[in-house]
Structure 1
């Protein structure tokens, strides 16, 4: 029993010492009541800190919104339309893109940096927008619903087909711009070659100059050479993109002069004079043709609508009723005659010499 009592006494002393050690830091902390002024000051600091954090959060949200808006605005509208269509119609777009042949080559020649699938999505998007606009315009001019639906479908088809042939149209425009600028570019290169500058440096000078499309094409040639293509291969790709007799002639003359030797500057000068002379001949023929087309345009856009209105009024007076409904007359005046005028303008533009 004596041993047990001694052990219990030891445990009691150990427990008391432990409690004393744990309570020691608490006893050292001074206890004081906060005054009302201190509490108000603390509440004021907490409120200021919360407002500051709230302002920082609002500024962060505004900065993110501005950054997102800048990205959306800087992105071309065509990209946004294509991405929107791909988001909801990826399956049909991919199936349709596989069925359209030759589109990749058209995009390559037109220098359109867009994948085939994305461009097909753009074709569908433009077709849908054109169809909706055509349908709404038909409703606005009070056409029947069935005719409005047909006009909307026609608008979709026209918009879709226009975008299908737009790369070819753009490629032809690029070829025309290149052929128009060829005499000036060839003289530019010939003057540099006469001064002792190399052919590659002369092409770099053209790429940095403001010759329009041909400066872009020369820049692509330089990029191809930087990527490892030979000078001959880069020029051949330029010839393939243009598919122009004039460009082919220039490329072959340059490659022949480099391979077999010869005064390349003199050759370029002669080709520049030849292209300039051919363009002047074409321009004279164009002026003669445009006189007849201009007469047709004036007749279709001014004389014919006036004669039609007079004929409708005369027929309506004789029959004592309007022989053509208002909706039909609106279609003629707002769609038919402007369309004919547009076709004539396009013919005049297409007849312009390269």
Structure 2
């Protein structure tokens, strides 16, 4: 029951991350092709057939909408609604503004890609700084606590006799500590930056 409610959200988040991960590269390719004199539709078709995962699929849908008579504005706005990301909304608005008012779309896309790359660089730098302190905590929980606890149990058992049930020790080392380590890994993975 819970899985049915959580799973779609997890898949949507993975899809969103895939789109955001590939977006700067797709924008650069689009910009390069436009500078080379390829038309917008052909450049979008190239992006849709490239290896950009979910982003390529979204551009395929957008192209199909345009081919079947939807205006550029409506097709790009639909793309923005489907992706549900702030950065994509901003990019679509810039593309539409450039198409409607005239201007060099290739330069606009290149500037957006540069801005996104700089933002990602800053976020990864912050992430690596956080990761250093998290790794200290991880090492303490994953290595030091189990080893120190094991040494203390052995020392106490030698002096006093059995102080803990062997099943409890097995539970801690085979289930509790691995579970804590797994949760820490999931936490670290969730901190990974996106656009």
Give me the TM-score of the superposition, normalised by structure 1.
Answer: 0.51
Partner of residue 345 from structure 1, selected from 182, 185, 188: 185
2: distance between equivalents of 1:349 and 1:232? Answer: 37
Distance 1:169 1:319, change over 3 A: same
Look up the match of 1:221: 62
Superposed, which structure 2 residues align to 1:197-208 within 5 Å? 197-208=38-49
Q: Could you report, residue by residue, the CA deviation over 1:179-206 in whole angstroms, capped at 9, with x for unpaired residues?
A: 2222211111112222333322211110
Alpha-carbon offset, residue 293 of structure 1? 1.0
Distance 1:228 1:165, change over 3 A: farther
Deviates more, 1:305-314 or 1:339-348: 305-314
Q: Could you report, residue by residue, the CA deviation over 1:20-76 in whole angstroms, capped at 9, with x for unpaired residues?
A: xxxxxxxxxxxxxxxxxxxxxxxxxxxxxxxxxxxxxxxxxxxxxxxxxxxxxxxxx
Q: Could you report, residue by residue, the CA deviation over 1:267-302 in whole angstroms, capped at 9, with x for unpaired residues?
A: 011111111111111111111111111111111111
Q: Residue 211 of structure 1 aligns to a residue in which SS?
A: coil
1:234 aligns with 2:80: no
Give me the TM-score of the superposition, normalised by structure 2.
Answer: 0.88
Look up the match of 2:21: 180
The higher-RCO structure (CA 8 Å, 6+ apart) is 2
Q: Could you report, residue by residue, the CA deviation over 1:321-354 in whole angstroms, capped at 9, with x for unpaired residues?
A: 3x33232222211221111111111122122122
- Unmatched tracts of structure 1, length 5 or more: 1-159
- Unmatched tracts of structure 2, length 5 or more: none
Superposed, which structure 2 residues align to 1:53-92 within 5 Å? none
1:243 aligns with 2:84: yes
Superposed, which structure 2 residues align to 1:1-354 within 5 Å? 160-226=1-67, 228-321=69-162, 323-354=163-194
Give the root-mean-square deviation of aligned CA atoms.
Answer: 2.0
Q: Residue 153 of structure 2 aligns to a residue in which SS?
A: helix
Larger radius of gyration: 1
